[in-house]
Amino acid sequence: MREVLRRIAYLWNHRRLEREMAEEMAYHRELLSPERRTEFGSDLRLREDAREVWGWAWLDRLRQDLAYGARVLRNSPGFTLTAVLVLASGIGVPLTVFRAALSDLQGGPLPDPDTLVHLRRRAPGVFITTLPYPELAFYAANTKCFRSVIGVTERNQATFGETAAGVAPEQIQIAFATSNYFPEFGIVPAYGRLLTPNDERRDSELVALIGELFWQQRLGGDPAVIGQSIRVNGKLVRVVGVMPRTAKARSELWMPLVRQPFVIDGSTLFTDWNSALDVYARLRPGVSVKASQQETLALAASLHQLQPDRVRPGEYLEAHPVLQFETNSPEFQIVLVTISLVLLLLVAACANLGTLVLARGVTREREIRTRMALGAGRARVIRQLFTESLMLAALCGLCGLVLSSGILKWIQLEHNPASTLLPDWRTIVVTFGVSLLAALVFGLPPALRLTSLVPRAGRARSIFLAAQVAVSCLLLVVSGVLVGGLKQLGRTEPGFDYRHLLWVSPGLKAHGYGDAAAKAYLDALRARTAAWPDVQAVSQVSLGPWGNAHMGSAWMGRQFAGNRVDSQFIETMRMHLVRGRNFLPGEEGVALITEAAARVLWRDEDALGKSLPWDVQGNSQSGTHGPTVVGVVANASTTIIGNPEPLEYYLPQSRSDALNSVLLLRVSGNPHEFIRRLQDSARALDGRLQPAVPVILDAYDGEMKNTSRALAGVAILGSVAILLSAIGLAGLAGYTVAQRTREIGLRIALGARGAQVVRAILAPMSHAIVIGFVCGAVGGAAVAKILRSGIPAMAGINVFDPLAYLAAMAFLAAVVALSILAPGRRAIRINPSEALQHE
């Protein structure tokens, strides 16, 4: 310890100490006899040896290396610029993707994520992802395993602002949440405060949070809004804070769950066993997920005694940690693939730079040999070369950081001008960590090779070259396949005419309607709208097409999507009945299925007259005799967009379905012009309602936009990779030509033709390029396959689309050819007589 302190003191006082040593040695020299004085040796050398003992020699050497490295980088600006361009984009683009993804997930880090679980109802053969309010209240009151039980419901239709006569009320969506939602999810208010247990008291003032996006876009981001009252569904509500924008929280307003009936007239939330809340819970410390499931099994059994119709025997709450990915889920695979694609770019950049460093190193061979001949050890030279690479990598990391901040700023401009995008310390650490890693990859192999005593040892160059070609090829193939898929998506007719459809969802259940009242209401609304001359057909259905809500059944590992529709459905949708007949009004126990479903269920047999292997609830157990198939319709993908093999079935509406149903309308002309008329009509029958009127064309446009955005992302990755490859290959070819000028001159002097010269340059690269091509194509196919299984809209794409492969290969080949064009020309034009003198 003392010694360490002394060393530090020496570093601190090194100037004085060196002066003293010089003085001491000078004295020594004076005392020596004249003939011995010359033997004393160099003062400088002596002092250096003595200084070595202080233990700070490495610092001197580092300073030396840094100065030397800086000089080398400054003296070859072309190389430095190329390297920075390559690696900065290799680091910057993936960094941007990750930062964008993270900022989307942000809204405060999730505290202690392992003990935060999502609760789902499980019973033999039953799987329900939501809980009704009475169950939430029951578990919250009786459980011992959970410290808190959290309930949330988003997407509740409401109106905002003053409803002046003649103006359609502005549609917003409200989320209702228990007040413990905010602290348990680590949400920090963007402004003002969050909801507290105090706000849940029934005698307290009605308060709400506004979503950050709504606040900025609709209310101008004005802090003065906080504390003011706004009108929601005609009720005055005081705004107390701003809910930060996160990927999950998209609602415009947030209010306490227990105050829901105050905002939604006639709500029977508290007694409604069909209400659907997302329920989360915080496990008490030390309680396992298993233990909590044991407890809820016992609690549900006692609840079953009280509510035998509502709670099934053997029911329990499955607790699933919120941050735990289901590793075999398609979403997780998509995430994984995206991460890999993005990281591949970094790999490509490193390989690329490695090639360049290696190629450039060949021209520095003389310098390195000289240094080693003068007594520099191999380790010393490697250290010096690696310091150079490190400096380069750090510079690139810095540029990558700036680049990604710039891109993020640019992307974010459109919706949030105020957001600050300064990288936090984690981003900085990751960036420079990655840079260090990159330096190891692209800097160490060339340093080892250049200092190797066996010349031309190692296959570093081939590996680098193959890697970058493979990555470029892979990204190209994937974008090619996606382009093909998107084109197909645009071409695929969904099996019904979606251009003139819209539906009205009056939200009867939320307003406390019963079955009979709901049926009466829908019948009245239907009679009104059907009378309009520009409405061609009206149908009552449980789920609006492409409406993000699903029901259905799983059979033999395949998902079948279901819907409950009336006999007008086929006409309204303009679907085609291929075989059999439509429902008769009031008929039950029958079903229509798509051709694809018929093929999966019964292969080539006739589906008509067969029973579905699941009941009307969607439960399939062995021996189940479900509804009888009376008709087969041409394939129509009504639940998701662009599925060319839709496994769908349609059951007739029953009496109790009206409460949860919507009216689907086929109109002539622009469907958007019907929104207000439908809202007004729906409210004319019951002024308390806040009807939602989605237009189906919008869902289609949204999906196309999403898909093209994904495509654009992959295309950007692909083009950056291509650009990197082009730069790398051009650089490599250029160095090859420079290095072999004499040889090429000799060849030309001996009568070689242009083609032969170019072939001679290409020869050492061709193997690696071919290997890269093959690996890239195979990898691209694998990635496309995962994408296909993960993105429903991509289900129809052809992974082995020959056009995509050929196009990718041809494009890459063209890039390779172009990138060696300039160096090749230079080689052909070499003047033999000059070249032979060239050194």
Partner 1 sequence: MSKTELVPGTLILLVLRVLQAGPLHGYAIAQRISQLSSDVLRVEEGSLYPALQKMLMKGWVQSEWELSDTKRRVRSYRLTAAGRKQLAAELAGYDHVNRAIQSVLKLA
Scanning 568-645, the segments in alpha helix (DSSP H) are 569-573, 595-602
Q: Which is nearer to partner 1, 17 or 685 (CB)?
A: 17
Buried b / exposed e over 516-538, threshold 16 CB at 10 Å, is eebbebbeebbebbeeeeebebb
How far apart are CB 7 and partner 1 at their closest, in Å? 7
Closest CA to 501 of 544, 551, 565: 544
Please identify, using beta-carbon distances, which residue of 24 and 112 lies nearer to partner 1. Answer: 24
Q: Closest separation between CB of residue 105 and partner 1, Å?
A: 53
In the range 556-575, which residues lie near partner 1 by CB under 8 A? none
Q: Considering beta carbons, is residue 10 or 811 the nearer one to partner 1?
A: 10
C-alpha–C-alpha distance, residues 300 and 312, integer Å: 8
CB of 346 to partner 1, least distance (A): 45
Length of the chain, please?
839
- In whole angstroms, how close is the CB of 53 to partner 1 at the nearest point? 4
> How many residues contact partner 1, by CB under 8 A?
26
**Residues 736-795, interacting with partner 1 (CB under 8 A):** none
**Helix, strand, coil percent content, the chain, rounded in steps of 5:** 55, 15, 30
- Write phi, then psi, for 115 (nearest 5 degrees): -100, 5
Print the binding letters for residues 231-270 with partner 1: x by CB under 8 A, - otherwise: ----------------------------------------
Q: Which stretch of DSSP H or E encloses residue 519?
A: helix 515-530
Q: Count CB-CB contacts under 10 A for residue 16.
A: 10
Question: Per rule CB under 8 A, is residue 532 in the interface with partner 1?
Answer: no
Name the token pair of 693. Answer: 């009127």
Q: How far is the CB of 15 from partner 1 (least distance, A)?
A: 16
Tell me whether residue 24 or residue 743 sits nearer to partner 1 (CB atom). Answer: 24
Crossing angle for the helix pair 330-363 and 460-491, nearest 10 degrees?
A: 140
Q: From the list 7, 218, 320, 677, which residue makes contact with partner 1 (rule: CB under 8 A)?
A: 7
Distance, CA of 376 to CA of 393 (rounded, Å): 25
3-state secondary structure of 795: coil
Sole residue written with tokens 């303009």? 574
Residue with Cβ nearer partner 1 (30 or 424): 30
Nearer to partner 1, 37 or 415 (CB): 37
Give 495's DSSP letter. Answer: S
Phi, psi dihedrals of residue 793, rounded to the nearest 5°: -65, -15
Residue 299 token pair: 């609690």
Provide, rounded to whole angstroms, the least separation between the CB of residue 24 and partner 1.
5
Residue list 652-671, contact with partner 1 (CB under 8 A): none
When the beta carbons of 8 and 411 are compared against partner 1, the nearer one is 8
> What residues numbered 9-68 form the site for partner 1, per CB under 8 A?
10, 20-21, 23-25, 27-28, 31-32, 40-41, 45-47, 49-55
Binding mask 328-357 for partner 1 (x = CB under 8 A): ------------------------------
CB of 16 vs partner 1, minimal distance in Å: 12
**Smallest distance, partner 1 to C-beta of residue 52, A:** 7
Q: 153 forms bridges with which residues in the sheet?
A: 176
Q: Compute the least distance from the CB of residue 380 to partner 1, in Å.
A: 20
Integer Cα distance of 665 and 700 in angstroms: 17
Residue 52 or 114: which CB sits closer to partner 1? Answer: 52
Going from the C-alpha of 579 to that of each of 447, 586, 604, 606, the distances in angstroms are 73, 21, 14, 10
Encoded amino acid at 237, one letter: V
250 φ/ψ angles, rounded to the nearest 5 degrees: -115, -5
Q: How far is the CB of 83 from partner 1 (least distance, A)?
A: 41
In the numeric block, the tokens 């849940």 are attached to 200
The separation between CA 265 and the C-alpha centre of its own chain, rounded to angstroms, equals 39
Cβ nearer to partner 1, comparing 6 with 459 = 6
DSSP secondary structure of 128-147: ES-B-HHHHHHHHHH-SSEE
Of the pair 60, 104, the CB lying nearest partner 1 is at: 60
The least CB distance from residue 8 to partner 1, in Å, is 11
Minimum CB distance to partner 1, residue 50 (Å): 5
State the pairing for strand pair 170-177/253-256.
parallel
- If the CB atoms of residues 16 and 144 are measured against partner 1, the closer one turns out to be 16
- Residues 371/374/376/381 CA torsion (nearest 10 deg): 10
Phi, psi (5° rounding) for residue 779?
-60, -40
Smallest distance, partner 1 to C-beta of residue 384, A: 25
Of 49 and 743, the one with the shorter C-beta distance to partner 1 is 49
In the complex with partner 1, the residue whose CB is nearer, 55 or 321, is: 55
How many angstroms separate the CA atoms of 442 and 556, rounded? 50
What distance in Å separates the CA atoms of residue 714 and residue 476, rounded to the nearest whole number? 9
Site map 286..325 versus partner 1, x via CB under 8 A = ----------------------------------------
When the beta carbons of 46 and 398 are compared against partner 1, the nearer one is 46
- Give CA 3 to chain center in angstroms: 53
Q: How far is the CB of 374 from partner 1 (least distance, A)?
A: 21
The contact set with partner 1 (CB under 8 A) reads: 2-3, 6-7, 10, 20-21, 23-25, 27-28, 31-32, 40-41, 45-47, 49-55
